[in-house]
Structure 1
């Protein structure tokens, strides 16, 4: 098989200088063909080139217009921001139980929350630890979604901690062990929940990030971080338990994090909120999540915080 150049959705959005929402919308309309590698959508370079050529005019170029959020709402497309596989299951249940079509934006928690503030996401998943309060998500939402009414629902709870090599040869058992000399770390991108978790504990324990070898080496998902540890590229990384089991490395649990969903409250979103609440509380959805293992569903569907 010949090697063909392909792009991620994020790379296409950067090339065309439009938002990822625009690209997702074009994909849903069938104007841009994609293929999947696992949970990631990719686009052949030749298909992108064909789309560009088909939208050119002999007199003036036809721009790729940014979709107005009202237009997207009218077409019943939903953008769900986050990376956990539980979101894929949620999207499937939403499509099965309603007329909505779900689009996935694999951005980190903070980036997703900012995209919601800017009107580019409908459901944002969050797992952001605040070191001053020991609370998850609410302190950040209060600061970012200023002026917006919203509801915060629990999706699942899950263990977060350290990815270490088989047998934990460096005997890493807590955050202060990251002070070990010559310890090599692999980090997550800025704005991700795992990056915030690490940075908050470095701050709490007064560990300068500049002292961590590899702190500036970033991956964009839990599996890539776990794989880097497995391959010996790094000694340690921060992430969730599920990825460690998939990759086959050891995991040191340090905290139970609450993984929540935030949705803005508006007349247009009233139906969406009711649908999501119903799905999260349903036996079929919870049974499907429980079967995955490593997820706590004791609070799933509960209202964590709500403004009016």
Structure 2
């Protein structure tokens, strides 16, 4: 391997459209492979492709499985013994949460990550498996994000909903849009094949809500049952020609070759915390970080994020 084939932290930050600290957060969490030349960190093209292909989740196993995998019965709650053992668990799949966790760790909070979708995130919060849930769940009846879902999935539980960012959701299509896809109704065409997100993901809920408005069932959509658990993975599948369309965020479209992005809806991405825990030191530290100019500056140069309301309380349920 020569220096010509090596990528620096700056190279990876540019390719992923994130800040240098965002790359270091990925390194610290073992989300991306790397190697060292002396004290300098370097990456191969293969390591970068592997991160994009697997949404930055392939390198963490078995430690992540031990600490974060809720499906294996290791449940997190907010009792003092469990917090001391398991840390302060934040759910969600956006890079912004990885960087938030890194800021928390630098301030002495043992922040851990659970990479699960919005629906499962809220259910985990209800069962006290995690400290912080995140959600971007649209309700076609009210036309609003998250509030009705928080009330439904945490019945009788008083919660505080805090904005993290606004993002644009839309359709990933092949470069040049050869199938001429332009609206939700085009997904029902016989010549169009979808690659879907998993049940409970915000992008999946947005799709299902729009299909409902059109009077369509998922069974009418080619590829509806073909699921994957990250925006990067479904976008990459479209870029490779394995599917014609997928639903995801604008930011990811900038990281994948051979695709275009069709904007469909501006979404609100929120944190949810049980109100009885809102004054705890870990949450207070998190709120201080979210409202700080230093943290907000991390995302000023990154496309796809609107942080003007970051740290604002949206609602109390």
8 Å contact kept, 2:92–2:116: yes
Q: Which residue number corresponds to residue 294 of structure 2?
A: 284
- Per the alignment, in what secondary structure is the counterpart of residue 265 of structure 2? strand
The two structures, once aligned, show a CA RMSD in angstroms of 2.3
Deviation at 1:196, TM superposition (A): 0.5
Superposition map of 1:72-91 within 5 A: 72-75=82-85, 77-91=87-101
Q: Bigger CA drift: 214-223 or 267-276?
A: 267-276
TM-score (norm 2): 0.76
Q: 1:268 and 1:160, CA in 2 relative to 1: closer, same or farther beyond 3 A?
A: closer
Deviation at 1:271, TM superposition (A): 2.2
Deviation at 1:147, TM superposition (A): 2.3
**CA–CA distance in 2 between the matches of 1:93 and 1:197?**
31
Q: 1:102 and 1:273, CA in 2 relative to 1: closer, same or farther beyond 3 A?
A: closer
Superposition map of 1:38-49 within 5 A: 38=51, 39-40=56-57, 41-43=59-61
Q: 1:118 and 1:68, CA in 2 relative to 1: closer, same or farther beyond 3 A?
A: closer
Deviation at 1:103, TM superposition (A): 1.1
Structure 1 position 137 matched with structure 2 position 141? no
Q: 1:265 and 1:171, CA in 2 relative to 1: closer, same or farther beyond 3 A?
A: same
Structure 1 position 265 matched with structure 2 position 283? no
Q: Which residue number corresponds to residue 3 of structure 1?
A: none
Superposition map of 1:173-252 within 5 A: 173-248=182-257, 249-252=259-262
Could you tell me which runs of 5 or more consecutive residues in structure 2 were left unpaired when the two chains were aligned.
1-28, 33-50, 67-72
8 Å contact kept, 2:168–2:249: yes
**CA–CA distance in 2 between the matches of 1:299 and 1:268?**
19
8 Å contact kept, 1:161–1:240: yes
**CA–CA distance in 1 between the matches of 2:254 and 2:312?**
28
Q: Which residue number corresponds to residue 136 of structure 2?
A: 127
8 Å contact kept, 1:76–1:100: no
TM-score (norm 1): 0.78
Q: Which residue number corresponds to residue 298 of structure 1?
A: 308
Q: 1:95 and 1:251, CA in 2 relative to 1: closer, same or farther beyond 3 A?
A: same
Q: Which residue number corresponds to residue 10 of structure 1?
A: none
8 Å contact kept, 2:76–2:129: no
**CA–CA distance in 2 between the matches of 1:80 and 1:247?**
26
Runs of 4+ in 1 over 6 A off after TM superposition: 64-68
Paired positions, count: 257
**CA–CA distance in 2 between the matches of 1:268 and 1:245?**
36
Deviation at 1:118, TM superposition (A): 0.8
**CA–CA distance in 1 between the matches of 2:218 and 2:194?**
11
Deviations 1:11-60 (A, max 9, x none): xxxxxxxxxxxxxxxxxxxxxxx954443243469xx9xxxxxxxxxxxx
8 Å contact kept, 1:81–1:105: yes
8 Å contact kept, 1:186–1:234: yes
Deviation at 1:244, TM superposition (A): 1.1
**CA–CA distance in 2 between the matches of 1:277 and 1:288?**
16
